[in-house]
A and B are shown apart, each in its own frame.
Chain A
Amino acid sequence: MLPISPGSALLSVNTGFKKNKGISSFYMRIGKRHLFLLLLAILCLLLGVLNYFLLQPDIVLFRFLSINNNHLLQIHPHWLYIFLSGYFSDTMWCTALCLVVLVLSDLKYLNTIGKLITLLLPFLSEAAQNFGFIRGTFDWYDILTYGIIVMAFSLLSSVFKK
C-alpha cells in the first residue's frame, strides 16, 4: 500500500535501509510527492522523445524501432527552432535525471557520492561527445544549461528536505 503523504515517506526514509528490500520496499516508501516528481521525470523524457520525433527523427532510437517521420515540423521563428532542435530534448533529459536523483536521494537510495556520480553524467556525456567517444556535437551552451539545471535542483533539493 502506498503512503498517502510525503510525511509518511520521509518517515520511512528515517528508518534507513533496514526496510529496503528491493522494489516492494521502494513502493512502500514512495510518497505522492515522489510519485509526482517521478511522473514529471517520465513526462520530461516523453517530451524529449516527442521533440526528437518531430524535429530530428533520424536518431538511433527511431532507427532501431524503424520509426520514420517524413513530415518534419516547420518552426518559426528560427531561434525557437534552434532551441527545440538543439537544446530542448537535452534539457528535458537532464531535468528528468535531476528529478530522479532528487526522489532517490530523498528516499535515501542515493548517498552523496552516488548523487555526485549521477549529476556528473550530463557533463561527462558532453565531454564524451567532445572527445568523440559518442556521436553528437559538443556545445558549451549544453554545459551551461546542464549547470543551471543541476544548480536549480540542488537548491530545490534543500527546499525539499525542509
Chain B
Amino acid sequence: MKKNTPLLNALIIVAIFCMMALASTPPPAPTASIYQGNFSYPSEKDEVVKNAAKLSFISNSANPTIVLRVPHTSHEVLEEDKNVKTEKNNDGTNNLYDINVYSVIEKELLKGGFTVRDRALFEKVLGDKMVNDYSKIKELTETDFILELSNIQYVRHPFNSFTYNTTGRKGVINTSLFNCNNSIFLYGLKIEFRLIKVKENDFIGSFTYNYSPCGDTPCTYSVSCLNGNCSEPYVTQGNVRISGIRLIPQEEIERFVKASTDKLVREIMH
C-alpha cells in the first residue's frame, strides 16, 4: 500500500493542476440557434402604362414586326452572338444576364404573333451615322416596334422578424415570432420594358413586372440566430449554403421573364 503512495500523490497533484487548467479555459462559445423561418411578402403590383390608341393598328396588322433592344446593346449582342450567354452560370453569382433573357423574350414575342427582327442587324443600322431619323429606320428595317428591355434587376426586401413553427405536446404546431436585432434580406425581381413605335418615334408604353418568390405561399428558409442577430436566410444543399440572390434559381428567373413577356404581349395585342 505504501509503495503506491508516491503515485497517489502524483495523481492528486495532477488532479489539482488539471482542475486549475480547466478553470482557466474560456467558456464554451455560444451556439447559434437555427430556425426554419417562414417569410411572406407580396410582390409589388405590376405597372402598365400604354397609349391604347397608338396600339390599335396592331389588331389590323397580320404580323407586326418588333425588335428587342437590350441594355449595353452592342456589347451584349456581340457577346451573345459568340454564344457566351447560352452557358448557364454555375459559379454561384447568379448574374441575371447569364441566363439567355433576350432569347426567352424574343421567343415569347414570336409565340405572341410578332415578327421578330434580328437584333444584331438592327444595331448595325442604328450604328450607321447616316441613319439619324426614326422614319428611315422604319424604311430600312421594316420594323414597327422597338421593345426596349430597360431594366432587369434584383429587388431587396428587408425583414426584421420571421415566424417559425414548433411542435408542442400532442403534436400541436405552435407558430412563434422571432424578432431580429438586425435586418435580413430576401430578393425578388423586377423587369421593365419600354415600347417605342418606330415610324412616329413615339414612346407608347411602359411595362413593369415584379416577382416575389414568397407570393401566395410563404417561403421557408433556414436562419441562424445568435443573441438576437440573425444570418441571411439560406438553404443548404449538401455542404453548400445558398443565400441572397442565389435563392432564386436561374430556372425561376427564366420562368419570370417568360411570364412577364407573355403578359406584355397580351397587353400589346389586346
Contact = CB atoms under 8 A, between A and B. Distances in A.
| Category for how many chain B residues contact A | 20 to 34
Contacts of B24: 48, 52, 59-61, 89, 93
B14 interface: yes
A109 interface: yes
A135 B13 contact: no
Given A134-B25, A135-B26, A125 B18 contact: yes
Question: Which DSSP category, helix, strand, loop or mixed, fits chain A's interface?
Answer: helix
Interface string B9-28: 11101100110111111111
Contact of A104 (B7, B9, B20, B22): B9
A97 B20 CA distance: 11
Contacts, number: 79
B17 A97 contact: yes
Interface stretch (A71-79, A111-119, A148-156): A111-119
Those 5 A-B pairs whose CB atoms lie nearest each other, nearest first: A114-B10, A61-B23, A111-B6, A135-B25, A114-B6
Given A115-B10, A118-B10, A118-B17, 13 more contacts: A52-B24, A58-B27, A60-B24, A63-B27, A93-B17, A93-B20, A104-B13, A109-B5, A110-B13, A114-B7, A117-B10, A118-B13, A121-B14
Interface of A: 17, 20, 45, 48, 52, 56, 58-61, 63-64, 89, 93, 96-97, 100-101, 104, 108-111, 113-115, 117-118, 121, 125, 134-136
Interface of B: 2, 5-7, 9-11, 13-14, 17-18, 20-28
